Structure 1
Amino acid sequence: MVPDSPSAAPGDAAAPAASPAHARPATPARVLLRLLLPAIVVGVLASLLFLTVSGLAESLRDVLWETVPDALGIGRYSSLWMITMLTATGIAVGLIVWKGYGHAGADPATTGLGGPPAPPGTVPGLLAATMLALAGGVSLGPENPIIAANIALAYWLGRRAAPAVPGALWVALASAATIGALFGTPVAAALVISEALTQQPGPGRASLWDRLFAPLAAAGAGAMTTTLVAHPTFAMDLPVLTHPGWGDLLASLVIATLAALFGLVGCYAFPPLHAAFRRLRHPMVMLPLGGLLLGLLGALGGRLTLFKGLDEVRELTSDVDAWSAGELAKLTVVKLAALLIAAACGFRGGRIFPAVFVGSAFGLLAHALVPEVHPAVALASGVLGVLLATTRQGWVSLFTAAVLAASPAMLALLCLATLPAWLVVTGRPQLELDDAGHSLH
């Protein structure tokens, strides 16, 4: 989660007297304006780092999955090549985790969207391990390690450039900027930060929008940089729902709840799976074995179950009626298993994007079983339920599902579908562990 808001940071230098719980002191405009330039700089640089890592990973992916197998006369996504490639990726990442400075950062099973700054010396190993995992077909996304790298760099550089500025400012700016860059919009960052701020004590703190000012500027700069350079889109080739009815509402409620239950299966399985890999003790055993298992799962589920999952969701939705219920069920189960193994064995990467694929396949499975269910309703509700279960971040889950549906008419359905799904997941384990290997709730 995002730490303390930077908009409260100016108060660290000259904290006002504590005010009653109902009072929200306004931050002077001149204080907010002083935050604007650092926020924009951090936003642009965070986006450029994300785009650089993603671009290098895409180029390496083309070499590993097209150039090399073509030169060897092996099928690009044959079972043999998938098993070989994922195992080799496990060996390469294992070497970085074993020998690299800082061991490529913290155990990815214990990290979320944000966290305390790591030593800057860990960043090269973390980014190298992330690029290899993204290119090699591991079922993880770039979000967690990119955020961690940007936090480490922003904190280290910011404390040297402006030592009087509280460290929490740089951490929050880097978190917001990277989330904005990842999603191509500052809205996602604002939602994540707002959710984090509700967990902090309120008396004497500045108003919400004062505290959001600098992070929103960083997120906007990061999002615009990504948009101008890479033109990202989350749009899926789905028919648009314009006039939802009672049947659509019922379908959304049921699918989101069932998807949340399915996501919880993975959350309950995660701690023992993580413990089993940790008993192997050495990264040169854990990661190659994890890569081998991922290769076998890829051979079982096919190439759509590889990689972070967003491009694969687009392919999945390009012709929703081309997939049978059996094929979609296999994709759903195999992708969830691949996500669990990848995160448990030590590959560096995030869990949101592969969880989106799991939720999309689950939703389209519901559409295949009951064709009367609108595909946009099915997919968005499936994504909503799985993300609620795995991340326990309601706003991000709702935002992601709504963006994929690309229909304002879906918002009311998804807001209502969130309610029963949240009742299912609240207080239950999520797909993140503490340092002792126990599930966060």
Structure 2
Amino acid sequence: MAQHTAPQARTTAPAAPARALLPLILPAVVVGVVASLVFVAISVAGDELQGLLWGPLPDALGVGRYSVLWMFVMLVATGVAVGLVVWKAPGHAGPDPATAGLDAPVMPPLVLPGLVLATGLMLAGGPSLGPENPVIAVNVGLAAWLGGRMRPRLPGGLWPMLAEAATIGALFGTPVAAALVISEALTGRPVRGLLWDNLFAPLTAAACGALTTTLVAQPTFDLHLPAFGTPGWGDLLAALVTATAAALLGLCAVYAFPSVHAAFRRLRHPMLALPAGGVVLAALGALGGPLTLFKGLDQIGELARHPEGWSAGQFATMAVVKLAALLVAASCGFRGGRIFPAVFVGTALGLCAHALVPAVHPAVGVSAAVLGVLLAVTRQGWVSLLTAAVLVASPGILALLCMASLPAWLLVTGRPQMRLRADGRPVH
């Protein structure tokens, strides 16, 4: 018996004592609240500026709010404005966004104001990117700078982890997303102690970030699609096929990403690349309609309110145009993330599946398509699964999504990611 218990004792990770975790609570709470407020402030400022630029301003000029002319004016002007920030701001508003992911590097404080300004202008002007990557980068930079000065005895690597977890919790309105992302990031790394000991502080920060956002902004991801009950065999087949087809569509953008990015990079200056990107985005907006502009979160609500309001061809057009707009915006230098516009692509694609085959329940089509597109674009399994699930407030959908993720993941794993190295080569 002793020969069997000794190895087990050596391989069991020791738990951290409570006195080692208690000092982390206050920093985690502060980071969680501040990260959420930064996210809300940037989002609200972008929304207010968007309302002005796409409402009273064109009305005063006697131009249609979403006319083709105004799309070209606004998107080119946004490219010029963001180009000026990237060109002249200290640190050039951060690194090339094509190289950025959710795991943001720690940037000097001097770089952060330019990144905030470029993000706010992008959110207001209409490019198809979300706020997630820049907001995470800003919060990581602030937490590392301020935390290292206020609590220098804490490990330096703790602050970026708290800020990332807090911002993800604030973005998705739940700390579960952050806990899953952090646990996924810890895979393959040497971890001291129990997993829950390592997640204690990030989960606290994420919970505070999510709760603060809920109390201040009251966001919701539920699309209020028709209620979905007990899943059947037909629903399983629909989820498997839709998720796989969506992942294939997402991979088209992933494989095109290096070439499109290289084409804009040949312009060699942000005052050329970003306005040129604005021209292409305006043309895509004219093709796909105003719903294919902006980050896409408000627009998916419009699609979901009228699932019968467009034909299958119109839904398919919006999905392809939005994916192309995401590809161009991420390639030409606009600061932003890819998750929210990818959710729009999946929503339009799922409603297209319902329009083509009415037996496909809208909730099944939308959630499975969002799952497939996000797996291809982000390669973040937990984020993709959780985002797809929260769009449909139905417990029965989760089992279908877990099954649908299997063929979609087999399709995307090992392939290039929609993220580039500094030399332009794709990350695998």
Q: Which residue of 2 aligns with 1:10?
A: none
Match of 1:153 in 2: 142
In 1: Cα distance, 2:142 partner to 2:103 partner: 13
Which residue identity is paired with 2:39?
Answer: F
Which residue of the partner structure matches residue 328 of structure 1?
315
Structure-2 residue corresponding to 1:425:
412
Taking the aligned partners of 1:206 and 1:300, their CA distance within structure 2 comes to 54
Indicate which of 288, 301, 320 corresponds to 2:288: 301
Q: CA deviation at 1:67?
A: 1.0
For 2:32, the aligned partner's letter is G
Match of 1:87 in 2: 76
**Which residue type is aligned with residue 195 of structure 2?**
L
Matching of residue 313 in structure 1 with residue 294 in structure 2: no
Q: 1:54 aligns with which of 22, 39, 43?
A: 43
Q: Report the secondary structure of 2:15's partner residue.
A: coil
Tell me whether 1:271 sits opposite 2:258 in the alignment.
yes
> Which AA in structure 1 matches 2:338?
R
Aligned match of 2:366 in 356, 368, 379?
A: 379
The reply on whether 1:29 has 2:18 as its aligned counterpart is: yes
Q: Does 1:346 align with 2:346?
A: no
Task: For 2:232 and 2:245, locate their aligned partners in 1 and report how far apart those are by CA, in whole Å.
Answer: 20
Return the match for 2:225 from 222, 234, 238: 238
| Cα distance in 2 for residues equivalent to 1:184 and 1:395 | 15
Deviations 1:211-233 (A, max 9, x none): 00000000011111100011000
Q: Secondary structure at the match of 2:273?
A: helix
Compared with structure 1, are the counterparts of its residues 25 and 271 closer, same or farther at alpha carbon in structure 2 (3 Å cutoff)? same
- For residues 21-54 of structure 1, what are the alpha-carbon distances to aligned partners after superposition, in whole Å with 9 as ceiling and x for unaligned? 7321211111111100000000000001111111
Corresponding residue to 2:403 among 416, 425, 431: 416
RMSD of aligned C-alpha atoms? 1.1
1:242 shift after superposition: 1.0
Q: 1:99 aligns with which of 84, 88, 92?
A: 88
Letter in 1 for 2:242: I
Secondary structure in structure 1 of the residue aligned to 2:65: coil
The alignment's TM-score, normalised by the length of structure 1, stands at: 0.94
Q: 2: CA distance between counterparts of 1:350 and 1:21?
A: 43
How do residues 160-309 of structure 1 correspond to structure 2 at under 5 angstroms?
Answer: 160-202=149-191, 205-309=192-296
CA deviation after TM superposition for structure 1 residue 237, in Å: 2.4
Percent identical among aligned pairs is 67
Partner of 2:3 in structure 1? none
User: What secondary structure sits across from 1:440 in the alignment?
Assistant: coil
1:113 paired with 2:74, answer: no
Runs of at least 5 residues in structure 2 that lack an aligned partner in the other structure: 1-7
| Alpha-carbon contact 2:292-2:321 (below 8 Å) kept | yes
Kept in 1: contact 2:224–2:392 (CA 8 A): no
1:159-212, Cα deviation, whole Å (9 max, x unpaired)? 11111211110000000000011111111111111111113134xx11110000
